Structure 1
Amino acid sequence: MTVPPATGFEVHGARGPFNAAFFGLMGPYIEWNVRGQKRRVFAGLPRTVVELGPGVGANLRHLAPGSTLVAVEPNPHMHRRLRAAAERRGVHLDLRERVAEHTELPDGSVDCVISSLVLCTVTDPAAVLAEVRRILRPGGTFRFVEHVAARAGTPTRLLQRVLRRPWAWTFEGCSCERDLAASVCAAGFARVDIQEYRLHSPFITFNTQIAGVAHA
C-alpha cells in the first residue's frame, strides 16, 4: 500500500479495487433504498456542484445534462467508472484526486456541495465540514445523505459496535458509530435541516441514516 503525497489518502491494493467493484455492482440496490431522500435533498441542484467522494458516480443522475461536477475523489480505483458514468450522463467532470479535508478550492467559490455515504469514511468529519463552509458562498448549501450510529441500547447499535473493525477495514475507514447529525449542527452553518430515517436492508449496520441541507 502507498500514500500519495498529493492526496494523503491510503491507496490499498485490495480495498481500493474491491470498493470500486462493490459500489459499481451494488450501486443500483443502494440507490433504490435511498432514492426518496436523495430526490428530496438533491432537488434543483445548480449547474456546477462539488461532490465529496463521488465514488463511481451514483449521484450523477441528480445533475442535469450539461452540468459540471467538481469531483473530489481520492481513490483512483473509482476514476474509470466515474468518468464513464459522467460521459453517459452528459455531465462535465472536473476530477480532483484529493481528500475532502483539503479540496484546494478558493474561499467562497461554490454554490453547492453534496455528499452521500462519505462523512462516515473521512478521517476528520469536523475538518471536512469546516472545509465545506470555507468554500461555500454565503447562501450556498451543503446537501447530504449519510449513515449514522443507531440509538444507544438498540440491537442495531450493538451490531454496529461488534462489526466496527471489519466494516471499517473493508470499506476504507467507514465508521458505523458517528453522530453525524450532531457534527453538522455543530459546524457553524446558518441553518441545518435534518431528517432521520431507517432503511430496511440486509446491511443492518448501514440502515440508520440522516439526510438534509445545511445553509451557509
Structure 2
Amino acid sequence: MTETTTSDRADAGFRLHGGRGRFNAAFFRAMGPYLEASLRPYKQRVFAGLPGSVVEIGPGVGANVPFLPPGGTLVAIEPNRYMHDRLAAAASRRGVRLDLRERMAEQTGLADHSADTVISSLVLCSVGDPEAVLAEIRRILRPGGTFRFVEHVVAREGTATRASQRVLRRPWAWTFEGCSCERDLEGAVRSAGFASVEVVRYRLHTPFLPFNTQIAGVARA
C-alpha cells in the first residue's frame, strides 16, 4: 500500500506562484509522455537497478516513479504543492511508498549520510543555487552512494541552440519557474567534490530548442 506523508512546509526561499505552479503541473502531465519517449534511453541507463529507497530532488508529477522498484520508498523533495496529487497517484500506481517533503532542494532536512541514492531529472536547471543543492546531495549520501541525473545544459558557443538559449532566457525562466537554459551543470557536478563522475552528453530533437542539449550521468560520493 502507498503511504503518503507531507512534512516540512516549503522553505521561505521558494515563492509558489499560483498560476505558474498550476501551469507547470499541467504542462508536465500533458507533455510527460512526449518528453519521456525522448529521455527514456538515457534514464534507463542511469536509473537502472535503483535500490528500494531513493531520494528524488524535484520529482514533479512522478515521471521517474516507473524506474523505482514496486514496494520501494521514494523520499520526494518537492516544494510545488500543485504537483503533489499527481505524484501521489503515480506512486500509488507503482506500489511505491511516498514520503513527501515540501521543501527546497538546498535544505532537504535529511540526516547526514542517510541516503544510498539520490536522483534528479530536469531539476538542477531551476533550483536557486545548484552548487548548494549538489553540496546538500553530497551531505546526505552515504560514502559510495550515487547521485544519478538527467539534465538539460548550456549549448556550445556559436551554435543556433546557444543563440536561442540566450534570446529566450528570460521568458523561459519566467514560464518554467526559474529554469535556466544557460547553466554548465556538467561543470558544476564535476566541481562538487564527488569521488567520481561519469557523464554522457547528447542532443534531443524537439521543438523546444533551448532544452535540447542534455547530459546524463552518475556521480559517486
TM-score band w.r.t. shorter chain: over 0.9
Query: Does the CA-based 8 Å contact 2:60-2:83 persist in structure 1?
Result: yes
Q: Secondary structure at the match of 2:76?
A: strand
After superposition, residues 26-37 of structure 1 pair within 5 angstroms as 26-37=31-42
After superposition, residues 1-216 of structure 1 pair within 5 angstroms as 6=11, 8-216=13-221
Query: Does the CA-based 8 Å contact 1:8-1:98 persist in structure 2?
Result: no
Q: Secondary structure at the match of 1:14?
A: helix
Length-normalised TM-score, structure 2: 0.95
Query: Does the CA-based 8 Å contact 1:140-1:215 persist in structure 2?
Result: yes
Q: Hey, which bits of structure 1, 4+ residues long, moved more than 3 A?
A: 4-7
Q: Deviations over 1:157-207 (max 9, x none)?
A: 000000000000000000000000000000000000000000011111100
Structure-1 separation of matches of 2:154 and 2:11: 32
In percent, how many aligned pairs have the same letter? 71
Structure-2 separation of matches of 1:34 and 1:5: 29
The size of the alignment, in residue pairs, is 213
Query: Does the CA-based 8 Å contact 1:7-1:98 persist in structure 2?
Result: no
Structure-2 separation of matches of 1:152 and 1:107: 39
Structure-1 separation of matches of 2:11 and 2:47: 30
Length-normalised TM-score, structure 1: 0.97
Structure-2 separation of matches of 1:76 and 1:182: 31
- Provide the alpha-carbon RMSD of the alignment: 0.9
Which consecutive unaligned segments of at least 5 residues does structure 2 have?
1-8
Which consecutive unaligned segments of at least 5 residues does structure 1 have?
none
